[in-house]
Amino acid sequence: MSQATNQSWGGRFSEPTDAFVARFTASVNFDQRLAPQDIQGSIAHATMLARVGVLTDEERDAIINGLNEIQGEIERGEFNWSVPLEDVHMNIEARLTEKIGITGKKLHTGRSRNDQVATDIRLFMRDEIDVIEVELKRLREGMIELADREAETIMPGFTHLQTAQPVTFGHHILAWQEMLARDHERLLDCRKRVNVMPLGAAALAGTTYPIDRHVTAELLGFDRPTENSLDAVSDRDFAIEFTSFASILLMHLSRMSEELVLWTSAQFNFIDLPDRFCTGSSIMPQKKNPDVPELVRGKTGRVYGHLMSLLTLMKSQPLAYNKDNQEDKEPLFDAVDTVRDCLKAFADMVPAIEPKKASMYEAARRGFSTATDLADYLVRKGVAFRDAHEIVGQSVAYGLKSEKDLSEMSLEELQQFSATIEQDVFEVLTLEGSVAARNHIGGTAPNQVRAAAQRAREALAALKAGA
């Protein structure tokens, strides 16, 4: 039927669709990815139609058997996708009619491609969200265990990328984990609004057949049918929500990536990434490049792009369905694939991070990172904080000149700046003393990090139980 009018709607047309227009308006090359959900939705629809007496049980069975066979043909790569048939929906329906005859033409009773496609996308997204959630949990678990293992490992903490105060490596990794915990909540929240069924809205106004939308919703595992038919066929805000989640997640992963890239450099030398996550250079034999985090950082841009595409796609669209919406699929598919792959990469990589503890420790020791501890020490001895700040500033200036860290100065050297300083100052000038002193909920002390890891483990397990 290459040049004929489309058999599904050709009745009122007097000439065939222009060949270019047929190609331009077709979506089958990308929406065939929705075939499993399209078949799942059709089986539920036919089952419901038989339950309310619109189809006979024999018709229902013929339809379901035919659809299952088509599913097999698609899985085996035997299905012949046709561009003149426009999209996944009409390709499958045409094949059904080819296989089972006139009964195949009854499947579309009380339904439109508008509610059909909205249903397919929601089923697809629900499946993908569940897969993505598994990877997200795996990554969070990996981070929690790494943090627990490295609760005592000391590194410099930074502000403005300048050495600020010592922190524990475990504390830093738990900061990442917190970002992901919020992303996880956003994902589960998005799933609630995805899991609502548009089927029954038909083209836009509902249908005159005595359908039972609760039956179809239950068959498909939806929480409930949508409330308003016009809204059901037209809005794609759930896809925008997903890409918002994805953008925020990738923003977080890009920050972690940036740190991994910095940390693996010879200048930082804080961690090693196993060779399997890196590649070499074809010209510089010494190179080992952190490609995986670099790519995740780079892929963040395309996900932001998809969010912008979808927001712009929906902007100003009048009710109800418009063909514009066919453009929702490619950005959404790519966002889903990118998120899944980036999470997998990170979930595999994070447990394999090898901290170079001596090098981290040395970096923390070099950067006057206990200067605040010295100021706090003076305050405890009765000096006003501003004066203490000034005294420590002078000590640091001296340290820069003499190339000595505060902990490397003698008591006499320190006493040049304040007579209040006594022998016990060296307890607070050590890195261990500095981190152990930050001993409150949310602080970097090793015992706090272990407790936080345990709470995170429990929160994650509770989520799992509730899912």
CA distances 19 to 4, 13, 27, 95, 223, Å, are: 10, 15, 14, 22, 42
Residues 268-307 vs ligand ARG: string with x where CB under 6 A? Answer: ----------------------------------------
Q: Is 117 in the site for ligand ARG (CB under 6 A)?
A: yes
- Binding part of the chain for ligand ARG, among 111-119, 150-158, 287-295, 437-445 by CB under 6 A, reads 111-119
314 neighbors 244 (Cβ within 8 angstroms): no
Main-chain dihedrals φ then ψ at residue 26, nearest 5 degrees: -75, 145
279 strand-pairing partners: 289
Minimum CB distance to ligand ARG smaller for 123 or for 174? 123
Long-range contacts of range 406-410, CB-CB < 8 Å, 24 or more positions apart?
406/368, 406/370, 406/371, 406/374, 407/365, 407/370
- Binding part of the chain for ligand ARG, among 109-117, 182-190, 285-293, 411-419 by CB under 6 A, reads 109-117
CB of 232 to ligand ARG, least distance (A): 13
> Distance between CA 327 and CA 306 in Å, rounded?
11
> Distance between CA 337 and CA 128 in Å, rounded?
9
Q: Which two tokens stand for residue 5?
A: 């009018």
Q: Which helix (DSSP H) or strand (DSSP E) does residue 43 occupy?
A: helix 35-51
Q: Is 325 in the site for ligand ARG (CB under 6 A)?
A: yes
Q: Which two tokens stand for residue 185?
A: 């909540």
> Distance between CA 114 and CA 29 in Å, rounded?
18
Minimum CB distance to ligand ARG smaller for 70 or for 449? 70
- Binding part of the chain for ligand ARG, among 157-165, 320-328, 447-455, 456-464 by CB under 6 A, reads 320-328
Q: Is 323 in the site for ligand ARG (CB under 6 A)?
A: yes
Among 17, 40, 91, 114, binds ligand ARG (CB under 6 A): 114
Long-range contacts of range 262-266, CB-CB < 8 Å, 24 or more positions apart?
264/288, 264/290
Annotate 119-154 with DSSP letters as a single string: HHHHHHHHHHHHHHHHHHHHHHHHHHHHHHHTTT-E
CA distances 121 to 84, 106, 308, 323, Å, are: 22, 23, 19, 15
DSSP state letter for 33 = G
DSSP state letter for 162 = E
45 neighbors 112 (Cβ within 8 angstroms): no
Q: Which helix (DSSP H) or strand (DSSP E) does residue 165 occupy?
A: strand 162-168
DSSP state letter for 354 = E
- Binding part of the chain for ligand ARG, among 69-77, 323-331, 360-368, 370-378 by CB under 6 A, reads 323-331
CB of 34 to ligand ARG, least distance (A): 9
Minimum CB distance to ligand ARG smaller for 277 or for 321? 321
- Binding part of the chain for ligand ARG, among 68-76, 151-159, 319-327, 414-422 by CB under 6 A, reads 319-327
Of the residues 14, 82, 89, 160, only one is catalytic, namely: 160
> Distance between CA 467 and CA 463 in Å, rounded?
6
Of the residues 8, 184, 257, 281, only one is catalytic, namely: 281
Q: What is the largest CA-CA distance in the chain?
A: 101
The amino acid at residue 3 is Q
Q: Is 113 in the site for ligand ARG (CB under 6 A)?
A: yes
Residue 14 falls in the annotated catalytic set: no
CB of 113 to ligand ARG, least distance (A): 4
Among 87, 133, 135, 235, binds ligand ARG (CB under 6 A): 87
Residue 27 falls in the annotated catalytic set: no
CB of 322 to ligand ARG, least distance (A): 9
Number of residues that bind ligand ARG (CB under 6 A): 10
- Which residues in 27-86 contact ligand ARG (CB under 6 A)? 27, 31
Among 119, 195, 326, 338, binds ligand ARG (CB under 6 A): 326
- Binding part of the chain for ligand ARG, among 123-131, 224-232, 322-330, 377-385 by CB under 6 A, reads 322-330
Q: Is 120 in the site for ligand ARG (CB under 6 A)?
A: no
Minimum CB distance to ligand ARG smaller for 206 or for 443? 206
- Which residues in 154-183 contact ligand ARG (CB under 6 A)? none
Minimum CB distance to ligand ARG smaller for 88 or for 271? 88
Minimum CB distance to ligand ARG smaller for 234 or for 264? 234
CB-neighbour burial class of residue 87 (10 A; exposed 0-12, middle 13-18, buried 19+):
buried
Contact residues for ligand ARG (CB under 6 A)?
27, 31, 87, 113-114, 117, 321, 323, 325-326
Residues belonging to the active site: 160, 281
